[in-house]
């Protein structure tokens, strides 16, 4: 393979694929095309022909534009640049924001239908913020080339592209970013910039730094400066409300062995406690010991709440070995992008919790896990207060101008 690299081809874009690329066909072969929109005709350059089943290409000229095309929100990622000089991280920035949400909806609905056999009328809900989907990132990682150049990685590459602005970042992040400078002391590494909701913006050179304070409603959360926290300015509040609303109060038992798996510093465990009161029993399980330490403090006001340092699969395996059951329990499940997977789903289902609220940042991983849960007797189910009509799934545009989407699903045991 390789003889087709650099070839210019004319393509009609038919659909959107998981991962942000668009779908076309060339001589019967599927081509995944960046910087295009369904319905467009583009001229594209072949960038990867290593697999016989499909190729990859980058659009270089729009021959018939979609009415949803706009000037890219980040000039460093624009189609006006040569493909190798386009920075990654804003792969939907050339698409009008409302249509971005429609494409994300299609990907999510298609994945859930194909993999889990569920036809969901889910919509992708906007969250507060700028109407063009800029200015929302409270955490940014910049990369440093061997010569000290600071910037972002090129799409699907580890090559550093120098940039002069960060339109997806909050103003505080943009002001603190060392753009246009050389960071020779950190050559080959990265720089994290964090703008907490309370306190100064921090520039971290590869370390977690001191503790910071994030505020959600009237509640404070403490965590390591470099620790995990939701990136969008309104993400933590959005997910707090979505998880609270997803739990069916008629099925919730505050004295059951309720769990918050992959719980981080306790954000969603606190959401449960805030809804159901001071007697709520809930344990957050997190593999990062420092995050668990912060979770213990963040959940201190609930006498029956606690935090355990453990991998979710090992925690569930111990629970099974001890003969424990989760009858009557509600489980919050917020796994990494790869999803919970067969092992965790099987272990959790075998413990028989009453309801599961699944927070997902990847549509395909969610759909795969929904299918696994279905095979263990759990089905999607909206609670009695659900007015969205989405059949037990809600989705939120927490990553505007990218292909990513967050979803919250509720499952009950049949």
Please report which residue ranges of 299-358 form alpha helices under DSSP H.
Answer: 312-321, 341-350
Q: What are the strands, taking DSSP E only, across 37-159? A: 41-48, 54-64, 124-125, 139-144, 150-153
User: Do the annotations mark residue 262 as ligand-binding?
Assistant: yes
Q: How far apart are the first and last CA of the chain?
A: 50
User: Do the annotations mark residue 334 as ligand-binding?
Assistant: yes
Active-site residue, from 359, 361, 372, 405 = 361
User: Do the annotations mark residue 286 as ligand-binding?
Assistant: yes
Q: What is the Cα–Cα distance from 264 to 293, expressed in whole angstroms?
A: 10
* Cβ–Cβ < 8 Å for 33, 13: yes
* Cβ–Cβ < 8 Å for 335, 368: no
Q: What is the Cα–Cα distance from 184 to 102, expressed in whole angstroms?
A: 43
Strand order from edge to edge, sheet including 29-34: 8-12, 41-48, 54-64, 29-34, 22-26, 15-16
Q: What is the Cα–Cα distance from 49 to 263, expressed in whole angstroms?
A: 41
Contact residues for 67 (Cβ-Cβ < 8 A; gap 6+)? none
- What tokens does 363 get? 């549509």
Q: What is the Cα–Cα distance from 242 to 94, expressed in whole angstroms?
A: 29
* Cβ–Cβ < 8 Å for 130, 63: no
Q: What is the Cα–Cα distance from 138 to 128, expressed in whole angstroms?
A: 14
User: Do the annotations mark residue 358 as ligand-binding?
Assistant: no
Q: What is the Cα–Cα distance from 199 to 205, expressed in whole angstroms?
A: 19
Q: What is the Cα–Cα distance from 15 to 114, expressed in whole angstroms?
A: 15
Whole-number Cα distances in Å, 237 to 262, 357, 389, 404? 18, 16, 22, 18
For helices 235-246 and 267-276, give the axis angle rounded to 10 degrees.
50
Neighbour count for residue 350 (Cβ, 10 Å): 13
- What tokens does 95 get? 């698409």
Could you confirm whether 23 is annotated as catalytic?
Answer: no
Bridge partners (DSSP) of residue 55 are 31
Q: Which residues are annotated as a binding site for S-adenosyl-L-methionine?
A: 230, 262, 286, 334
Residue numbers annotated as active site:
361
Q: Which residues are annotated as a binding site?
A: 230, 262, 286, 334
């Amino acid at each position: 393979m390789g003889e087709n690299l650099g070839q210019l081809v004319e393509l009609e874009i038919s659909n959107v694929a998981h991962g942000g690329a668009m779908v076309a066909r060339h001589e019967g072969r599927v081509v995944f095309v960046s910087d295009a929109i369904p319905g467009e005709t583009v001229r594209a350059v072949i960038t990867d022909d290593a697999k016989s089943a499909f190729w990859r290409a980058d659009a270089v000229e729009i021959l018939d534009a979609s009415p949803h095309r706009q000037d890219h929100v980040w000039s460093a990622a624009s189609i006006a640049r040569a493909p190798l000089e386009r920075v990654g991280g804003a792969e939907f920035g050339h698409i009008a924001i409302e249509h971005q949400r429609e494409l994300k909806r299609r990907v999510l609905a298609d994945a859930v239908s194909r993999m889990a056999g569920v036809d969901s009328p889910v919509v992708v809900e906007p969250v507060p913020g700028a109407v063009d989907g800029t200015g929302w990132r409270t955490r940014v990682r910049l990369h440093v080339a061997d010569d000290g150049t600071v910037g972002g990685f090129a799409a699907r590459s580890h090559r550093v592209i120098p940039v002069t602005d960060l339109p997806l970042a909050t103003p505080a992040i943009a002001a603190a970013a060392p753009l246009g400078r050389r960071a020779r002391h950190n050559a080959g590494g990265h720089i994290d910039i964090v703008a907490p909701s309370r306190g100064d913006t921090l520039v971290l050179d590869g370390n977690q730094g001191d503790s910071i304070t994030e505020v959600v409603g009237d509640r404070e959360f403490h965590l390591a400066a470099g620790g995990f926290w939701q990136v969008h300015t309104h993400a933590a509040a959005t997910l707090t409300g979505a998880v609270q609303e997803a739990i069916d109060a008629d099925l919730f038992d505050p004295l059951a062995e309720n769990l918050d798996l992959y719980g981080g510093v306790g954000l969603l465990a606190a959401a449960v406690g805030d809804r159901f009161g001071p007697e709520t029993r809930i344990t957050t399980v997190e593999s990062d010991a420092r995050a668990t330490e912060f979770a213990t403090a963040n959940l201190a006001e609930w006498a029956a709440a606690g935090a355990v340092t453990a991998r979710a699969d090992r925690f569930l395996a111990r629970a099974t070995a001890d003969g424990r059951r989760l009858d009557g329990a509600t489980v919050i499940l917020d796994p990494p992008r790869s999803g919970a997977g067969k092992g965790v789903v099987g272990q959790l289902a075998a413990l028989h919790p009453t309801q599961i609220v699944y927070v997902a940042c990847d549509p395909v991983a969610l759909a795969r896990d929904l299918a696994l849960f279905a095979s263990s007797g759990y089905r999607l189910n909206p609670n009695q207060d659900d007015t969205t009509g989405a059949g037990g799934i809600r989705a939120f545009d927490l990553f505007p101008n990218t292909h990513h989407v967050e979803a919250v699903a509720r499952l009950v045991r049949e």
